[in-house]
Amino acid sequence: MDTTGTLDEALERLHHSGPERLGRLTNHAPMAVEALAARGQERSVHRWLDLYAGKLEEFPSRVEPVTDDNWVSALGDPRRAADWIDHFEREIAGRPWREVLTQWWPRLLPGMYGGSTHPVIRVGHAVRTLLAGDITEPRLTELAHGLGYWAARHRPVSGLAPVPGAGSAAGALDAVTPIAVRDGSFPARLDRVTALPVWAEAVTEPDDAYRHLAELVKAATHRYATHGHGEETMLVHAATAPNAVLRTLPALPRTLWLPSLRAAWTASAAVTAMYAPAAAVVYTPPGRFTADEVFERALEHGDEHVIKLTDTALDIADEPALAAALRSIELSAPLG
């Protein structure tokens, strides 16, 4: 983890910007710079951020403070993003960050599908930093921004019909039926997801939930190599969203691990239903590369989704995961 202060400098720079741009697109910079710092690329953080700067917008206007009395009515209102971030900054300033996370995780978890799952991913990056390194003010503020963005974009999914799945995560993802109408925004497509395969329903113990979630992250990452051509950007989230949950579990009470698995499966399966192609392709990587070499290629490419998927692939670090990262580099347009 970065001990040079570079990550803190980058986060302070970014906290003057809002969590979105153009009213619907996510600011990926906090997640990407955290990934760069976590992978030993501190020297590249500010250079990458300079390239991304044109995609940043000013911090949004405030509407009305979020309080203990009105938070329910403010949940899921994207106009209240600044209000929610302010609320979590106050909460984290007054209490240990894990206590705040533990209180709000079960409140926010049912709505992790809003913002194309980016809010929970941002929280996962923030939590990884807090667990692995010094607890600094910029890193605590970053957690507040992630939680605030999640609360503002909170979007539950309900009424999904269970259909037969498979015993393995890979098999269950293969059993997902693509939605019939495959156009429109993420929220519009999500509305068309009405049924998902059953998977890991028999899991009742926290340790088993953790193992199954790790299996899901691996399966979704591997699958990108053969299915990423369906939508090179959005299918990244089938892996990075559950990985954000997995990274957060060590900071949470074990009683929250099982519902976290359920929500992560729904997210990964729903993204698969919304964007996966009808057929897989055979993908042959352009050679054999070490994990460090693959991440250097991702950094040179620069796309924020490529960096984040590669960061997840390095958590797995087997050949199929590295192949998925290389596939994302081939499919995606470079930053710049």
pLDDT of 196: 98
Whether residues 147 and 183 share a domain: the answer is no
Task: Provide the 10 A C-beta neighbour count for residue 208.
Answer: 15
Whether residues 210 and 327 share a domain: the answer is yes
- Does residue 167 lie within any of the structural domains? no
Boundaries of domain holding 216: 179-336
Whether residues 249 and 139 share a domain: the answer is no
Q: What is the DSSP string of 267-326?
A: HHHHHHHHH--SS------SS---HHHHHHHHHHH--HHHHHHHHHHHHH-SHHHHHHHH
pLDDT of 198: 97
Q: How far apart are CA 321 and CA 314, in angstroms?
A: 7
Whether residues 268 and 120 share a domain: the answer is no
pLDDT of 3: 55
List all residues 6 or more positions away from 134 whose beta carbon is below 8 Å from its beta carbon: 3
Whether residues 134 and 186 share a domain: the answer is no
Whether residues 90 and 196 share a domain: the answer is no
Whether residues 127 and 222 share a domain: the answer is no
The residues facing 136 across adjacent strands are none
Sign, Cα dihedral of 160, 161, 163, 168: positive
Whether residues 26 and 106 share a domain: the answer is yes
Number of domains in the chain: 2
pLDDT of 106: 98
pTM for this structure? 0.97
Per-residue buried b or exposed e for 227-259, using 16+ beta carbons within 10 Å of the residue's own CB: bbbbbbbbbbbbbbbbbbbbbbbebbeeebbbe
Tens digit of each residue's pLDDT (9 = 90 or more) over 118-173 = 999 999 999 999 999 889 999 999 999 999 999 999 999 999 999 999 999 999 99
Per-residue pLDDT of the chain (336 residues; tens, 9 = 90+): 555 699 999 999 999 999 999 989 999 999 999 999 999 999 999 999 999 999 999 999 999 999 999 999 999 999 999 999 999 999 999 999 999 999 999 999 999 999 999 999 999 999 999 999 889 999 999 999 999 999 999 999 999 999 999 999 999 999 999 999 999 999 999 999 999 999 999 999 999 999 999 999 999 999 999 999 999 999 999 999 999 999 999 999 999 999 999 999 999 999 999 999 989 999 999 999 999 999 999 999 999 999 999 999 999 999 999 999 999 999 999 997
Q: Which amino acid is at 27?
A: N
Whether residues 188 and 110 share a domain: the answer is no
pLDDT of 2: 59
Alpha-carbon separation of residue 177 from 20, 133, 154, 263 (angstroms): 31, 41, 25, 18
Grouping H, G, I as helix, E, B as strand and the rest as coil, residue 335 is coil
Grouping H, G, I as helix, E, B as strand and the rest as coil, residue 155 is strand
- Cβ atoms 204, 210 nearer than 8 A: no
Residue 22 region, left (φ>0) first, then alpha (ψ -120 to 50), else beta? left
pLDDT of 133: 81
Whether residues 242 and 297 share a domain: the answer is yes
The two structure tokens encoding residue 267 = 């997210």
- Does residue 100 lie within any of the structural domains? yes
Whether residues 15 and 115 share a domain: the answer is yes
Whether residues 137 and 196 share a domain: the answer is no
Task: Provide the 10 A C-beta neighbour count for residue 202.
Answer: 9
Among 152, 168, 195, give the residue marking a domain's end: 152
Residue 287 region, left (φ>0) first, then alpha (ψ -120 to 50), else beta? left
